[in-house]
Chains A and B, each alone.
Chain A
């Protein structure tokens, strides 16, 4: 039935983005194993929760839009994509998504690959202990499954793996997330801690913190961890590539449990106490000061950090300050807003909604009601017949069905008519096709709509690609709705027609179907030609629009042919 529309494209992207984020999260949290074995519990929980997230994602695109239910094929793609959060095939197959005829084949093979990788990926997460043997050659799995395998192998024996990694030349992409992360997490933790602190300052901050956290001896802990970190900092290099990814996301759960916080507490507390009311009044400047101070404190208490900063390529005066992070957060929020705006826009050019607005859906439904009713009458009649006569009747029905088979596409008439005559030519074709139908069908609305579309496109006014695209989808939806209405009306009139001539009627409706399906593809071409003419640098957008327009034209064709099929019993009953 109906193939995908702009909405589906959107959803597909959604499904694609979330898992990548999640993937990153996994990586970040997995680095905790090197530092704190207690993280294991957290980790397992998180794996579970993220898998439930995946399930949720899987359902969302479906429920978001009732009309998408038609579309089984597309749902499958969504499911496959969502089920495999980390799979890179998804990215590729999605980008290459076109109406290319190879596409469906591609899809199936990719899907099976995905399913395979999915199995290994998730199963490994579920049973940690069983996979110890795979660490014999950690390098190989890293090549094929960068995230999952890595995570898995790090856990059982981190030292061994890191050593091996350090020896290989590809370490730049895989090594040392932990260090990049820890710097970042300290910052985030500091931020989190400070915002909590500001709330509590007036109530006597030191008491609250000391009691609620209950760290045995923060300074001692800090010393220990610093030593640990220094030791680790020596093993891998090539950290630059990781700092960026880690900046984006820091897992809140793991940071709350991470060690640097404890070491910091008393120092930060003291600092906050001295800062006093300044903190309470808030403001970016204050927070920034705290951030800087925090970094100083960290550096004092953790000599390894200086080294790490050097490794990260951060000059001392280019400290990642809080305002920077906040600015980035704001930029991200702006980006999100923009995406949301685009999605809203996409809903406005939602083909099925428009088709419904133009009463296409309800005409289709009414036609279906008639079709079902007539089918029941035919079956009733058949039950009352003797076996031989029943066979005759079946043959007659079959003959009518054969008359309604669509002829092969013949590309003979490339009509050379000017734009202004196009709609007249279309009207003529419709009349010629249906002259033996014996009914007076109203073709004016669909012809008028065509004329209006042509006039709009050739009005000479400045049109943006978005305007053209919107109008294209709306025009296709309207032309389809008007076509479906024609079948509905034809069906109703045939049922009350006094003298039936089934063969002529079947032939006429078959021809009408050919004219109408050709019409929608012409309409689509008209708009895509206009899009191609537009002077714009945004060629990718134009490309997407054109693809979507042809997709919707295919959609329209399907609706029209479905309407024709629904009319079949109405033709058949005239012959029995």
Chain B
């Protein structure tokens, strides 16, 4: 396994009620697979993938998949701190999972302070509600109200399906691009002792050798 080159590493955290589909979303994003059944997450699990954003910058996303179960709440809050982005995940066919979103957002803001993360509101299981009228009945959160909530709170909003793969990639690119933009404007910086954003440590491997090489050439040639 060779470590690929990347320019930045962003740490993103996924939060939301249990069974809304956080792990499935991540599995599809990193593996391209969907599992009908999966065990509930214990504490936190990790996923990683490198993506490329608009200007070709390569970003390694380190994804922290938290347990949604109530009993792990006291543990998962320890994990918020070093995140630069948070995906607030709900199930479009589960009303209460959407109603808890403000609570999740407050929780995240409180624990990530003093940093201010990029938030995205991500609806899951779009495949369950489809677009035809019959299955639309299973939808408990309309796209409009979710969008309205997102606008009021300055979040991005996107609806996805980890079964069909619809919008999965976009959800993560959206957040990565926003984080990157904030780096460009100077709002975010790489800081010591904070792991939300790190610069890629693989690129220097090449350059540092080149530097050495250049020096050697300099000393031998005329």
Residues of A within 8 A of B (CB): 14, 18, 21, 25, 53, 60, 63-66, 188, 191-192, 195, 249, 252, 255-256, 336, 340, 343, 347-348, 350, 353-354, 356-357, 359, 362-363, 365-366, 369-370, 373, 474, 488-489, 492-493, 495-496
Number of interface residues of B (CB under 8 A): 33
Cβ-defined contact, A489 with B213, below 8 A: no
Starting from the known contacts A14-B212, A60-B208, 15 additional A-B residue pairs (CB-CB under 8 Å) come to A63-B204, A65-B205, A66-B201, A188-B222, A195-B222, A249-B219, A340-B209, A354-B3, A362-B62, A366-B44, A369-B78, A369-B81, A493-B43, A496-B71, A496-B74
Does any Cβ of A come within 8 Å of B194's Cβ?
no
Cβ-defined contact, A353 with B3, below 8 A: yes
Cβ-defined contact, B208 with A252, below 8 A: no
The smallest C-beta distance from B73 to any residue of chain A, in angstroms, reads 9
Within 8 A of A (CB), among B183-222: 195, 201-202, 204-205, 208-209, 211-213, 215-216, 219-222
Cβ-defined contact, B1 with A357, below 8 A: yes
Q: Which residue of A lies closest to B195 (CB)?
A: A365
Per-residue CB contact flags for chain B residues 61-75 toward chain A (1 = under 8 Å, else 0) read 010100000011011
The smallest C-beta distance from B2 to any residue of chain A, in angstroms, reads 5
Q: Which residue of A lies closest to B71 (CB)?
A: A496
Does any Cβ of A come within 8 Å of B149's Cβ?
no
Given contacts A489-B43, A492-B72, contact A64 B208 (CB under 8 A): yes
Give bound CA distance, A252 to B211, whole Å. 20
Does any Cβ of A come within 8 Å of B53's Cβ?
no
Give bound CA distance, A340 to B214, whole Å. 13
Does any Cβ of A come within 8 Å of B150's Cβ?
no
Does any Cβ of A come within 8 Å of B79's Cβ?
yes
Q: Show 11 A/B contacts (Cβ-Cβ < 8 Å), sorted by A.
A: A63-B208, A66-B201, A255-B222, A336-B216, A340-B209, A369-B78, A488-B43, A492-B42, A492-B72, A496-B71, A496-B72
Cβ-defined contact, B46 with A21, below 8 A: no
Residues of A contacting B: mostly: helix
The smallest C-beta distance from B203 to any residue of chain A, in angstroms, reads 11
Q: For residue A474, which residues in chain B have a CB less than 8 angstroms away from its CB? A: 1
Cβ-defined contact, B78 with A373, below 8 A: yes
Does any Cβ of A come within 8 Å of B173's Cβ?
no
Cβ-defined contact, B43 with A492, below 8 A: yes
Cβ-defined contact, B1 with A495, below 8 A: no
Q: For residue B146, which residues in chain A have a CB less than 8 angstroms away from its CB? A: none
Q: For residue A492, which residues in chain B have a CB less than 8 angstroms away from its CB? A: 42-44, 72, 75
The smallest C-beta distance from A121 to any residue of chain B, in angstroms, reads 20
Cβ-defined contact, B72 with A369, below 8 A: no
Does any Cβ of A come within 8 Å of B101's Cβ?
no
Q: For residue A353, which residues in chain B have a CB less than 8 angstroms away from its CB? A: 3, 202
Q: Pick the contact of A359 from B48, B78, B204 — CB < 8 Å?
A: B48
Q: Which residue of B lies closest to A256 (CB)?
A: B222
> Considering the complex of A and B, which 5 residue pairs feature the smallest CB-CB distances, nearest first?
A492-B43, A192-B222, A373-B78, A64-B208, A252-B222
Q: For residue B48, which residues in chain A have a CB less than 8 angstroms away from its CB? A: 359
Q: Which residue of B lies closest to A372 (CB)?
A: B78
Give bound CA distance, A242 to B209, whole Å. 31
Q: Pick the contact of A252 from B74, B209, B212, B221 — CB < 8 Å?
A: B221
Give bound CA distance, A336 to B217, whole Å. 11
Cβ-defined contact, A363 with B1, below 8 A: no
Cβ-defined contact, A348 with B42, below 8 A: no
Give bound CA distance, A373 to B77, whole Å. 10
Given contacts A340-B213, A369-B81, contact A64 B205 (CB under 8 A): yes
Q: For residue B46, which residues in chain A have a CB less than 8 angstroms away from its CB? A: 359, 362-363, 366
Q: Which residue of A lies closest to B48 (CB)?
A: A359
Q: For residue A65, which residues in chain B have a CB less than 8 angstroms away from its CB? A: 201, 205
Given contacts A64-B205, A65-B201, A363-B46, contact A354 B1 (CB under 8 A): yes
Q: Which residue of A lies closest to B198 (CB)?
A: A66
Q: For residue A252, which residues in chain B have a CB less than 8 angstroms away from its CB? A: 221-222
Per-residue CB contact flags for chain B residues 1-25 toward chain A (1 = under 8 Å, else 0) read 1110000000000000000000000
Q: For residue A249, which residues in chain B have a CB less than 8 angstroms away from its CB? A: 219-220
The smallest C-beta distance from B128 to any residue of chain A, in angstroms, reads 29
Cβ-defined contact, A25 with B219, below 8 A: yes
The smallest C-beta distance from A482 to any residue of chain B, in angstroms, reads 13
Give bound CA distance, A492 to B216, whole Å. 52
Q: For residue B62, which residues in chain A have a CB less than 8 angstroms away from its CB? A: 362
Q: For residue B212, which residues in chain A have a CB less than 8 angstroms away from its CB? A: 14, 60
Within 8 A of A (CB), among B57-113: 62, 64, 71-72, 74-75, 78-79, 81
Give bound CA distance, A493 to B2, whole Å. 33
Given contacts A340-B209, A370-B78, contact A357 B3 (CB under 8 A): yes
Cβ-defined contact, B208 with A343, below 8 A: no
Q: For residue B213, which residues in chain A have a CB less than 8 angstroms away from its CB? A: 336, 340
The smallest C-beta distance from B11 to any residue of chain A, in angstroms, reads 9
Q: Which residue of B lies closest to A365 (CB)?
A: B195
Cβ-defined contact, A489 with B3, below 8 A: no
Q: Which residue of B lies closest to A249 (CB)?
A: B220
Give bound CA distance, A66 to B195, whole Å. 13
Give bound CA distance, A527 to B158, whole Å. 49
Cβ-defined contact, A370 with B222, below 8 A: no
Give bound CA distance, A348 to B213, whole Å. 20
Q: For residue A356, which residues in chain B have a CB less than 8 angstroms away from its CB? A: 3
